[in-house]
Amino acid sequence: MSSPVGRTGTNRELVLLPSLKARAGERGGFVLTQKYLNGARAYAKTWPGPVTSLVRLADDLTTDMDHVEAQSGEWGTGIEPRPEGRKQLAERLRGAGAVLAHLSRIEAPLAELCREIRVPLVYGTEYSLATEEQIIDAETDNALLRWRRKLWVRRTEKLRIDALSRAAGVQCSGTPTYEVYRHHNPRALLFFDNRVEVEAVVGTAELESKLDRLQSRRPLRLVFGGRLVAMKGVLDLVGLAERLVKRGLDFELEVFGRGPLEGELQRAAAAKRLGTRFRLRGALDFETGWIPMLQREQDLFVCCHPQGDPSSTYPEVMSCGVPIAGYDNEAFRGIVERSGSGWLVPIHDIDELAASIVRLDADRAAIARAARLAREFALAHAFQPTYARRVQHLLECAAADNRT
């Protein structure tokens, strides 16, 4: 890759500093998730200059299931090992048009470094302090350990806010961090993470055909998809199915995904004798399996997330014309408020979630109305327009920072 050109030139470099670590690949490339690489390529399509990812290397991969090996430049972007030392990193970033990094304790010192070398820094955010504490509650049984972890994230939040006040801008994935951080940086962008491209959003005719079938009074088709971990609330799905059976609802609940709670989920479903009403279906390929299946077969997504993770699941499911009923966490609440689609119940109130689904079964026209609104929201926040807005925001932040 050619050397970076200063931001006053016509070939300004955008440098991405992902929180995601990479592994050295067998072909000499870098093993990253396809989701990340798709995003990097989307930046490269609209950013007026080269785009490069500086990645930290690790021996282990994340629990994601879409890892691929990429060569530098293969996805339209450069990929390089991230320099270890502060001085070396400063030299590598010097002259960049903008830097995009995850707002975290480890990246907080970047705010001062980028000010020293006069390079605009934009932070990306995902979890709010409230969401982090909810995740700790979901994953930590020991009371003392919960307290220590919450103390750590509260101290981290102070570092994040201080760094944010010196950054050129912030891009907030979902409403939880946007509602907090827009008060600490004047250039805050709200976006909804979404892998579904405009062309892949369910078509009007296809959606209406499915909604016609919805009125046939066949069993209501419920679905959940995601990592089978505590922070996704997956064990509540068994309790939900049990309550729906007791209420006499004719339904099918299919659960897609993999994770450490898969075996426990299977055993719990067997103990409750849910039979074919509750089925674990494993993981599907996102583009060729998950999205087409949602578009063709499912009526309602049930979401038991007890925390406000701004999951891409929300807009991705909605892009298939599938509305969502779930817990009133701050991320899903923001989706419902902005889309007009979806139903909220108190967190961990399985009885109320079951009651809500039974009411919807009796009012399938309400499901159809929510499905159409879900599609409209997903179109507005599909993959391409979302990344176009993010690049435009980066350019505006860089221009504003250059004037100060």
Q: Does 141 lie in the same domain as 266?
A: no
Tell me: do 388 and 373 sit in the same domain. no
- Per-residue pLDDT reduced to its tens digit, 288-335: 999 999 999 999 999 999 999 888 999 999 999 999 999 999 999 999
Do 43 and 128 belong together in one domain? yes
> 396 with 364, same domain?
no
> For residues 365 and 132, what is the distance between their CA atoms, to the nearest angstrom?
37
- Distant-in-sequence, close-in-space partners of 275: CB < 8 Å, separation ≥ 6: none
Same domain, 189 and 231: no
Q: List the beta strands (DSSP E) in 153-282.
A: 169-173, 188-191, 220-225, 251-256, 278-280
* 188 lies in the same domain as 214: no
- Does residue 212 share a domain with residue 188? no
Q: Is residue 248 part of a domain?
A: yes
- 361 and 300 in a common domain: yes
Rounded to a whole number of angstroms, the CA Rg of the chain reads 22
Assigned domain for 102 exists:
yes
Strand order in the sheet with 30-33: 23-24, 30-33, 67-70
The pLDDT confidence band at residue 26, using thresholds 50, 70 and 90, is: confident
Share above pLDDT 70 across residues of the chain, in percent, rounded to a whole number: 95
Note whether 82 and 61 are same-domain residues. Answer: yes
Q: Are residues 264 and 145 in the same domain?
A: no
In a domain, 93, yes or no: yes
Task: Provide φ and ψ at 223, rounded to 5°.
Answer: -145, 150
CATH code, domain with 313: 3.40.50.2000
Q: 23: domain range? A: 14-196+384-403
Is the model's pLDDT at 31 over the cut of 80?
yes
The total of other beta-carbon atoms located within 10 Å of residue 284's CB is 17
Residue with tokens 């990253």: 32
Q: Which SS3 state, helix, strand or coil, does residue 73 take? A: coil
Kindly state whether residue 8 falls inside one of the protein's structural domains. Answer: no
**Residue 1 maps to a domain:** no
Q: Do 299 and 355 reside in the same domain of the chain?
A: yes
Looking at the structure, do residues 282 and 262 belong to the same domain, yes or no? yes
Number of domain units in the chain: 2
- Res. 139: pLDDT tops 50: yes
In a domain, 2, yes or no: no
**pLDDT per residue over 216-254, tens digit each?**
889 999 999 999 999 999 999 999 999 999 999 999 999
Q: How far apart are CA 242 and CA 239, in angstroms?
A: 5
Cβ pair 171, 331 in contact under 8 A: no
**CA distance linking residue 321 with residue 102, whole number of Å:** 31
Alpha carbon 24 to its chain centroid, in Å, reads 25
Q: Is residue 7 part of a domain?
A: no
